[in-house]
Amino acid sequence: MASKLIHAIYKDDDLVLQAVKQIRDARYHIGEVYTPFPVHGIDKAMGLAPTRLAICSFLYGITGLTVAVLMMNFMMIQDWPQDIGGKPSFHFYQNMPTFVPIMFELTVFFAAHLMVITFYMRSKLWPFRKAENPDPRTTDDHFLIEVDASDHNVDKLTDFLYNTGAAEIKLIEN
């Protein structure tokens, strides 16, 4: 059985947010929403689960802090202790105030870089990957809602989408 998708194009972000709510209330399945900029509240309107990237960011920051502490303890206390500015290097905790900027910077460095890598892996955005944008106007000023029409009457669904404010509707058959 061939799958049918309907691409409904909208011209306003408030209109697309209302349309997503109406489509979900009518129990139609929204496959994806393409927008030229982030529309606040659309993830909640689509019923998407909250992201867990903040947990990853915290863990990556803790990893960076751990690397910074171990690195400075080894380099400045164990391997090659130096008397810099009259501050002896007997114990890590005695010199910790001078290490705070390095600990902060490595925490931010690890969190930021590993978050970018995690985001790209999670969303499958690899370098040199071809874009999967169904309509190039969605990168400029239009919004597109992709609705699964395989199990529904296409004419009835099309009329419903026009009533939600769609400016243009296309039927895509795979």
pLDDT for 93-124, tens place per residue? Answer: 777 888 899 999 999 999 999 999 998 898 88
Q: Whole-prediction pTM value?
A: 0.72
Phi, psi of 115 (to 5 degrees): -70, -40
Helix or strand run (H / E) with residue 112: helix 92-123
Residue 2 pLDDT exceeds 60: no
Here the tokens at position 78 are: 């164990």
CB 115 within 8 A of CB 60: yes
Query: Residues 120-152: pLDDT tens digits?
Result: 898 888 888 888 889 989 989 999 999 998 888
Q: How confident is the model at residue 37 (pLDDT cuts 50, 70, 90)?
A: very high
Residue 88: the pLDDT is 67
23 phi-psi bin (left φ>0, alpha ψ -120 to 50, beta other): alpha
Is 4-49+143-173 a domain of CATH 3.40.50? Answer: no
Share the mean pLDDT of the chain.
Answer: 90
